[in-house]
Structure 1
Amino acid sequence: MAATLSLTPPSSLPLRRRSTRPLLRRTSTTIRSLSSPSPSPPATTLSQDDLKKIAAVKAVEYVRSGMVLGLGTGSTAAFVVAELGALLSSGKLEKIVGVPTSKRTFEQAQSLGIPLSTLDDHPYIDLAIDGADEVDPFLNLVKGRGGALLREKMVEAASDKFVVVADETKLVTGLGGSGLAMPVEVVQFCWKYNLIRLQDLFKEEGCDAKLRLDEGGKPYVTDNSNYIVDLYFKSPIKDAAAAGKEISAFEGVVEHGLFLDMATSVIIAGKNGVDVKDK
């Protein structure tokens, strides 16, 4: 973050927290789905980026002038930030404040003239909008393949509402079911020790744990100077709530990419239109 942002919370600002909820409520959670079909069949097949943009534009409809917004990280979130910048520039939105979840998002939002702050100065966030790597039928998520899982989880946990934008390829029957990475942020000290423990923890799921590398072949370093161990599952995680607790209990683990019972709405764009699922 830029050095000009204050890191001292004003004494006059009370810390408001949304009510604590259990990690999973499979027996009591009600998911409502509203479909919005496309006005007319597209002339050509929509790309994944086209679908992400459609979902992002729909998500920004939740934003109102004067809101404090959590700004997510990743390719889908970038479309959200771009749309917010355009609405501010046109005067359709006013007096919003963004709390970015990564240096990348900070730089994009700053370039678009979006006023920015931090959780220290705005510990209560009206609405967070972010993408997801996986979405299960209960609106639980895998996030963090963009490397910002710690800041994303902090900002989104502080938000009154958390709207997720995704394309239909992100839907899974169980978390870990895509076969792609489920990230775990770990301290650099003895990272291999934790990589082995994480892989052993999920033997039944056929887990393969790998240290994330950057484009130069060196360990990828997060905005918080940590490493990421990516977990690849041959079968979905059997109990995501229990898995999250066990991962968090490992010394040296900073955060994991299981975002459980956090999303209040998920907007999914597909070839037949937009599907909005609400809790």
Structure 2
Amino acid sequence: MSETSDPVTLMKQEVGKAAAQRVKSGAIVGLGTGSTTAYAIQYIGERLKSGEITDIKGIPTSFQATVLAKQYGIPLTTLDEVDRIDVAIDGADEVDPHKNLIKGGGAAHTREKIVDSLAEEFIVVVDSSKIVDKLGSTFLLPVEVLPLAMTPVMRAIEKLGGKPQLRMGVKKAGPVITDQGNMVIDVKFDSIDNPAELEKTLNNIPGVLENGLFVGVTDVVLVGEVIDGKPVVREI
């Protein structure tokens, strides 16, 4: 990635770097998805290349993470081959005061949830715009659905008080298709008062694979901010 003086990009790089610094030699690392996490993957690769850390294996959460890991020389493994994940680094679309998340802006939340939940330590990297008082206040809740169940699932979500819409592709005619070959419904809830309950209720709808509520999974949140034109990283 080219050098930049844009404060927001620099801030994302600093947050990614701060997360990458927490990876120790011999670690199995969950590699998340998104723009800030992409810098973490880059810096893990650079630390590996320089010999600062050794013997790292990555478990990617998406096609994007797989491509970046290969680009930056991080050897990959699979959940079939490991008995643990030491640390996972991933972004979020919203973070509440209890460190609960909404994820899925990149439609990779199913694989992210599998990997991030298995990790001994789950580090979330975000910028301060993602910090909210209550989940669902700025971001729609993504729900991954088997294509054949699309209509009944949308009806079931409406009964729960949600307003569902099928996520459509950008520069692509038709819907977004996940890495698993499914579709994504983005749901507006007026208020998500009990994220843990809603997570279970949505996942119990037949045809729903997984939703973007991550409850009780996060250990550390690294928040990037631009203060007086300079990037600052704080930990929650």
- TM-score, normalising length: structure 1: 0.78
In 2, Cα distance between equivalents of 1:123 and 1:175? 32
Name the residue aligned to 2:24.
64
The question of whether the paired residues in 1 share the 8 Å contact of 2:157 and 2:163 is answered with: no
In 2, Cα distance between equivalents of 1:45 and 1:274? 16
Name the residue aligned to 2:188.
232
For structure 2, the residue ranges without an aligned partner over 5 or more in a row are none
- Flag the structure with larger Rg: 1
- TM-score, normalising length: structure 2: 0.92
Name the residue aligned to 2:215.
260
Name the residue aligned to 2:204.
249
In 2, Cα distance between equivalents of 1:209 and 1:54? 36
Residue 275 (structure 1) aligned with residue 234 (structure 2): yes
For structure 1, the residue ranges without an aligned partner over 5 or more in a row are 1-43
Cα deviation digits, residues 243-272 of structure 1 (max 9, x gap): 111101100000010000101000001124
Tell me: CA distance 1:232–1:50, structure 2 relative to 1, closer, same or farther (3 Å): farther
Residue 193 (structure 1) aligned with residue 152 (structure 2): yes
Name the residue aligned to 1:162.
122
In 2, Cα distance between equivalents of 1:52 and 1:268? 9
In 1, Cα distance between equivalents of 2:41 and 2:20? 9
**Structure 1 residue 220: Cα displacement:** 1.1
**Structure 1 residue 196: Cα displacement:** 2.3
The question of whether the paired residues in 1 share the 8 Å contact of 2:20 and 2:41 is answered with: no
In 1, Cα distance between equivalents of 2:169 and 2:37? 21
Name the residue aligned to 2:174.
218
The question of whether the paired residues in 2 share the 8 Å contact of 1:199 and 1:231 is answered with: no
The question of whether the paired residues in 1 share the 8 Å contact of 2:89 and 2:122 is answered with: yes
The question of whether the paired residues in 2 share the 8 Å contact of 1:123 and 1:158 is answered with: no
Matches within 5 A, 1:166-181: 166-178=126-138, 180-181=139-140
The 3-state SS of whatever aligns with 1:271 is strand
Name the residue aligned to 2:12.
52
Residue 176 of structure 2 aligns with an amino acid whose one-letter code is Y
Residue 7 of structure 2 aligns with an amino acid whose one-letter code is L
Moved segments of 4+, more than 3 Å: none
Matches within 5 A, 1:75-114: 75-114=35-74
The question of whether the paired residues in 2 share the 8 Å contact of 1:133 and 1:141 is answered with: yes
Name the residue aligned to 1:141.
101
Residue 270 of structure 1 aligns with an amino acid whose one-letter code is E
Residue 140 of structure 1 aligns with an amino acid whose one-letter code is N
Higher normalized helix content (fraction of residues)? 2
In 1, Cα distance between equivalents of 2:60 and 2:6? 33
The 3-state SS of whatever aligns with 2:30 is strand
Cα deviation digits, residues 156-193 of structure 1 (max 9, x gap): 11110000000000001011011x22100010113022
Residue 152 of structure 2 aligns with an amino acid whose one-letter code is Y
In 2, Cα distance between equivalents of 1:214 and 1:93? 39
Cα deviation digits, residues 179-235 of structure 1 (max 9, x gap): x2210001011302212221331x2xxx421111112231111111111101123x3
**Structure 1 residue 51: Cα displacement:** 2.3
Matches within 5 A, 1:125-136: 125-136=85-96
**Structure 1 residue 45: Cα displacement:** 7.5
The question of whether the paired residues in 2 share the 8 Å contact of 1:66 and 1:96 is answered with: yes
The 3-state SS of whatever aligns with 2:116 is helix
Larger CA deviation: 103-112 vs 137-146: 103-112
Name the residue aligned to 1:208.
163
In 2, Cα distance between equivalents of 1:263 and 1:53? 21
In 2, Cα distance between equivalents of 1:237 and 1:217? 32
